[in-house]
Amino acid sequence: MVSYPAALPRNRESLERLRVQGSALVLLIPFIKQMDNHISLKGRRLIGWSEILEGGIAPGAAVMSWLGEDGGIEAANQGHDVVMAPGSSTYFDHCQAEPFEEEPLSIGGMTTLGRVYGYEPIPKKLPADKHKHVIGAQGQLWTEYIPDMKHLEYMTYPRACALAEVLWVEKDQKEYPDFLERLAIHRKRFKVMDVNAHPML
């Protein structure tokens, strides 16, 4: 469960105004419902991180499952569409290789090229009739430790190439050695375009 500090003055005032007591989490639920109504009136669809599952998700909302696969499974089992975005396989602000000392500063964790390529967005625990609710996956690159574009490129590539294949190539046609051969061609493109890709190979 996510913690929302009730001690913050703006949260206390809101809690008093709503005449509720307890965790400021209770503010999240009406806020999400209010935003869902507003977004729906504009002909759009609410999509939120896994935390929107807490307290009941708006009907028709989609979930970005970043806290592992469980949130995505829960949402899909409830009939909601899901974009899988688990930190263990899709966070590009993690280191890519060892030794850590030779890598640029990152938020922590390790997400290697092989780990990204080996990721399967449809969880094994998800019943087959719910697979249709997994509408994709997404790579994340939070930039609090990334000072410039060259660092951003270094953290993004070639892992973004691996995730693209995860999403576009049929599971039974994926072969990591074949991907590495194709990646050699991408590296030539990166060089011509002056993209600062990680030298993984």
The yes-or-no verdict on residue 29 having pLDDT over 50 is yes
Specify the higher pLDDT residue, 96 or 105.
96
- Reported as a pLDDT band with limits 50, 70 and 90, residue 1 is very low
| Closest C-alpha to 121, from 136, 99, 139, 101 | 136
Between CA 190 and CA 28 the distance in angstroms is 43
pLDDT, one tens digit per residue, over 149-183 is: 999 999 999 999 999 999 999 989 999 999 999 99
Between CA 76 and CA 70 the distance in angstroms is 10
pLDDT value at residue 5 = 57
pLDDT value at residue 121 = 97
The yes-or-no verdict on residue 63 having pLDDT over 60 is yes
| Average per-residue pLDDT for the chain | 88
Whether 86 contacts 63, CB under 8 Å: no
What 3-state class would DSSP assign to 51? Answer: helix
The yes-or-no verdict on residue 201 having pLDDT over 70 is no
Is the pTM higher than 0.85? The answer reads no
Q: Percent of the chain, pLDDT > 90?
A: 67
User: Which residue blocks in the chain are alpha helix, DSSP H?
Assistant: 9-17, 25-41, 70-77, 87-90, 113-117, 149-156, 159-168, 176-192
